[in-house]
Amino acid sequence: MVIYYLSSENFFPDPFRDDVDDLLAIGGDLSPERLITAYQKGIFPWYSEESPILWWSPNPRLILCPSQLHVARRLQREIKKQRFGVTINKDFFSVITSCAQVARSGTNGTWIVPEMIEAYTRLHELGFAHSIESWYHGELVGGLYGVAIGKIFFGESMFFLMSNASKIAFVLFVQALRDYGFHLIDCQQTTQHLLRFGAKEVSRKEFLIRMDEALQEGNVQSSFWRPRSLTDGARSGSVIY
């Protein structure tokens, strides 16, 4: 398989090619222009502090159609309790740094290195990267972040400090994406957690075709992404915005 080495001038190989593997390219930078170009080609960065920047386009690819979200009955009951206040874009920096800092079983260190935090914070300031927060008694206890272009949301990472905090934020956010006509959520890597929500694996080529259709729909109006609440009300001391 061919792996491309990126210079400052050259961007990315075509992931439709049969001679490229999951790891397509090495090097380059995390400038907003390069990151947006990468996402529009179905490519994302994922690496550690010890390695150069690595660019991936997995085959198969895990996706979730918002209209096909599955919510287990137990989680539905937890959502009805309204224990958490769930918001969009209230504290992007705290969400991405929490995703980097919260330990995950079976892993050492984090791929959300400082330059990734800086790069995605810049994407947030430009209106491409977004956070979803889950609050309890004024404290941030869960959330997720990703990149939205057209009517596709590219999920990046999530964290939780309380049971169900990130799950509830995820469900309410996916339901909001469904209501706004989003076609697709790119889940990147396959996990049992996301499969239980109705995500499914598709070939890279199928993903790229469906991604192109979602990209051509145009960006969702900025009012959807303004800092706001996804919950009408909450109990048990949750923060309401």
Whether the CB-CB separation of 225 and 130 falls below 8 Å is answered with: yes
Q: Are residues 86 and 47 in the same domain?
A: no
3-state percent helix, strand, coil for the chain, nearest multiple of 5: 30, 25, 40
User: Does residue 60 carry a pLDDT above 60?
Assistant: yes
**What integer pLDDT is reported at residue 236 of this predicted model?**
41
Q: Are residues 67 and 155 in the same domain?
A: yes
User: Does residue 6 carry a pLDDT above 50?
Assistant: yes
Average pLDDT over residues 203-211: 97
40 assigned to some structural domain: yes
The more confidently predicted of residues 99 and 221 is 99
Q: Are residues 148 and 194 in the same domain?
A: yes
Q: Which domain holds residue 195?
A: 62-229
Percent share of the chain, pLDDT over 90? 81
pTM: 0.93
Q: What is the CATH number of the domain that holds 166?
A: 3.40.630.70
Q: Are residues 51 and 66 in the same domain?
A: no
Among 38, 58, 78, the domain boundary falls at 58
Whether the CB-CB separation of 175 and 69 falls below 8 Å is answered with: yes
Q: Are residues 150 and 48 in the same domain?
A: no
Among 18, 33, 58, the domain boundary falls at 58
Q: Are residues 67 and 31 in the same domain?
A: no
Name which of 81-85, 153-157, 207-211, 233-237 the model is least confident about: 233-237
Whether the CB-CB separation of 103 and 123 falls below 8 Å is answered with: no
217 assigned to some structural domain: yes
241 assigned to some structural domain: no
Average pLDDT over residues 150-166: 97
Q: Are residues 104 and 45 in the same domain?
A: no
CA-angle at 65, arms to 60 and 67, nearest 5°: 160
**CA-to-CA distance for 240 and 229, rounded, in angstroms?**
7
Tokens encoding 59: 């085959």
Q: What is the CATH number of the domain that holds 43?
A: 3.30.70.3550
User: Does residue 241 carry a pLDDT above 50?
Assistant: no
239 assigned to some structural domain: no
Average pLDDT over residues 129-154: 97
235 assigned to some structural domain: no
74 assigned to some structural domain: yes
Q: Are residues 47 and 78 in the same domain?
A: no
Q: Categorize the per-residue pLDDT at 11 as very low, low, confident or very high, splitting at 50, 70 and 90.
A: confident
**What integer pLDDT is reported at residue 10 of this predicted model?**
61
| Rg, the chain, Cα only | 18
Q: Are residues 111 and 50 in the same domain?
A: no
Q: Which of 169-173, 214-218, 230-234 is modeled with the greatest confidence?
A: 169-173
Q: Are residues 72 and 43 in the same domain?
A: no
User: Does residue 106 carry a pLDDT above 80?
Assistant: no
As for how many domains the chain has, the answer is 2
49 assigned to some structural domain: yes
Q: Are residues 122 and 90 in the same domain?
A: yes
Q: Are residues 155 and 181 in the same domain?
A: yes
